Chain A
Amino acid sequence: MKTIYFDNNATTKVAEEVLEEMKPYFCELYGNPSSMHTFGGQIGAKIRNAREQIAALLGCEPSEIIFTAGGTESDNTAIMGTLAAAPNKRKIITTRVEHPAVLVVCRELENRGYTVVELGVDKQGRLNLAELENQIDDDDTALVTIMYANNETGVVFPIQEIAEIVTGKGVVFHTDAVQPIGKIPLNLSKSNIDLLSLSGHKLHAPKGVGALYVKKGTRLSPFMLGGHQEGERRAGTENVPGIIGLGKACELAAKNIEEENQRVKSLRDKLETALLEKCPGSRLNGDKENRLPNTSNISFEYIEGEAILLMLDRYGICASSGSACTSGSLEPSHVLRAMGVPFTAAHGSIRFSLSRYNTEEEVDYTIEKMPEIVNKLRKLSPFVAK
């Protein structure tokens, strides 16, 4: 059975070109860039090249990039590093819809005595910027951390505007940009963003590598200690193959960003329009206008997400759900609850997230199978009248 992969916000396929680029760094060029010998030392130049490739995609200086082990480490570093550099400030502002890599860190800090403000969102998942502005009191707020685009709904926040508001008050601004990289064009040299997290495996690089952009002049204490690597900003021997792969993936992303916004977006739109039309009792979650081009989050009312996923799985279709049962928790997605999506719909939400490797046939096949699955489960549901 062929796999139809519509779960690209969870992770992506490593691009063949990326893998090719990485291969020599396992058994041939396996040296440690910190070594004194040429064999290891030559790797330093390769890492420099990867740093330049990433800087080119983000529109920043190579020296503003720190390599990490992934998005979660980048987020942890940005938050903990900023607070450690400003020990007199005790307040953090974030949103209720952040990824756990940010939200759980903030809640832990609250337990340690920090004041944490979680901004709410409206029914479309949008922020109220006036509320953000009111919450910043420049003398005590150490950090504002707000995601660029939501991993579950794809809703994109007006990050440039937010960065302007926050930094205008003299407060450090971090954004988790794990989802939009390679999908939304960026020019950080013309932006007020101080810190930005990205993850390799969301843009066709391997798992276990990521980066943190740190604008020149931003005060940040190191999070990982025990080595001089990354200019003393992140200790630990470099994940050389991963870094090389991330560099290549960024180069490819720059080339493919146009396709993401045209072909991938049109496939997403076709899938979404057809499913909403062919499945009665379905609704779109999130702001339709300001959204990532690859993501669609649809709720199928009165049926449950895990059951839908298992039925899709039988056809080889991979998606994900915000239902309670899929996560092992007992409550549905915190993002959908923050948006006030009713329980009737939150438990039956399905996220389809596409990539440039998806085809129109895959979309058509899913459009054909989905109504059948929805009908089958509705017949079992005690909440649906005959």
Chain B
Amino acid sequence: MWEYTEKLKEHFFNPRNVGEIKNPDGVGEVGSLACGDALKLTFKLDENGKICDAKFKTFGCASAIATSSVLTEMIKGLTIDEAARITNKDIADYLGGLPEQKMHCSVMGREALEAAIENYRTGGRKKRELEGKVVCTCFGVTEKEIERVITENDLTTVEQVTNYCKAGGGCGGCKGEIEKIIEKIQGDKAKAVAASVPPKAGKLTNIKKIQLIQQTINEQIRPALRAHGGNIELIDVEANKVIVAFRGMCAQCRLAEYTMKDVVEAKLREFVSDELFVEEDRDSTQQPHNHRG
């Protein structure tokens, strides 16, 4: 059970400003049913350019609902510029804190507010669109957004990033990439935390090399394949030739040879050794799951 503050519970059981403003000056929509939470925020300005009314509709858990409710209270009476300065931390603080795993609710609130302000300023983009490179494909989180939560909340671990913006919380295939973004921003601060990315070693013994290949497949490759109904199996390693078999959806994919092999090879070269190359084991793929040996 989550430890919610009294203030959060109060806003969940008695949410303020529920609904949609007719003819609003700004509309912001974020989230989706698939993600498990979604928020539609509308606001109206008075003659002095201050937000005089704000309403919300939210699909989501107690903290998503309470976060939306306090957000509407927080922005009333503010000018657009003042509202634009609200961070996810301000929202969480207003509630007296949120459980770590629920911090993404406060980020969703800030994102909805941003989208609504942008809609007011430019007249477009009611729905938040993805800008730049998408890092987490499960939840559609971009590099830019990940960088922002890291900077604004001083995050140093992948787990924290997942708590704040969901990135890495699906198949987990992007965790290595998130770790690199953290390192880029936080530098030494991030290095103090144990890394899950296997260190790329200089000279490898055969035993160590096979272990690293298996670890890289387990942590960097399989999660993403599994999320799409596929799988990969390490069949054998002969010198620098890594023999793998693709399973499930991957095995039937006609693109497998061109894409999967390249993806796997790139990851293995990145994490294990530049000299590795990948070969697909056709025999075993044609007879799924018939492991040789």
Contact = CB atoms under 8 A, between A and B. Distances in A.
Contacts of A225: none
Nearest to B19: A379
A303 B58 CA distance: 9
Minimum-distance CB pairs A-B, first 10: A330-B169, A325-B61, A382-B57, A306-B61, A382-B40, A111-B218, A115-B291, A343-B34, A324-B36, A381-B59
Contacts of B166: 330
Contact of B33 (A306, A347, A380): A347
Contacts of B35: 330
Given A330-B139, A383-B33, A90 B291 contact: yes
Contacts of A328: 101
A232 B165 CA distance: 50
A329 B61 contact: no
A258 to B, nearest CB: 35
A351 interface: no
Interface stretch (B10-18, B148-156, B200-208): B10-18
B6 to A, nearest CB: 13
A113 B214 CA distance: 8
Interface of A: 90-91, 110-113, 115, 117, 135, 137, 140, 302-307, 310-311, 314, 323-326, 328-332, 343-344, 347, 379-383
Interface string B54-65: 000111111111
B162 interface: yes
Contacts of A115: 233, 289, 291
A249 B293 CA distance: 46
Interface string B97-111: 000011000000000
Looking at A140, A325, A330, A383, the one whose CB has the most chain B CB atoms below 10 A away is A330
A263 B235 CA distance: 54
B65 A307 contact: yes
Quick one: which of A307, A311, A382, A383 has the most chain B CB within 10 A?
Answer: A382
Interface residues of B, number: 41
A117 B289 contact: yes
A135 B57 contact: no
Contacts of A303: 59
Contacts of A91: 289, 291
Given A91-B289, A135-B289, A331-B169, A382 B36 contact: no
A344 B33 contact: yes
Contacts of B9: 310
Nearest to A328: B101
A96 to B, nearest CB: 10
Contacts of B59: 302-304, 380-383
A307 B62 contact: yes
A303 B65 CA distance: 11
Contact of A330 (B13, B57, B162, B290): B162
A66 to B, nearest CB: 30
Contacts of A140: 290-291, 293
B36 A380 contact: no
B36 A332 contact: yes
A140 B293 CA distance: 8
Contacts of A343: 33-34, 36
Given A91-B289, A310-B12, A325-B63, 5 more contacts: A90-B291, A302-B33, A344-B33, A347-B33, A382-B40
Given A330-B162, A347-B33, A382 B169 contact: no
A344 B291 CA distance: 39
Contact of A304 (B13, B60, B214): B60
B61 A382 contact: no
B291 A323 contact: no
B37 A304 contact: yes
Contacts of B57: 380-382
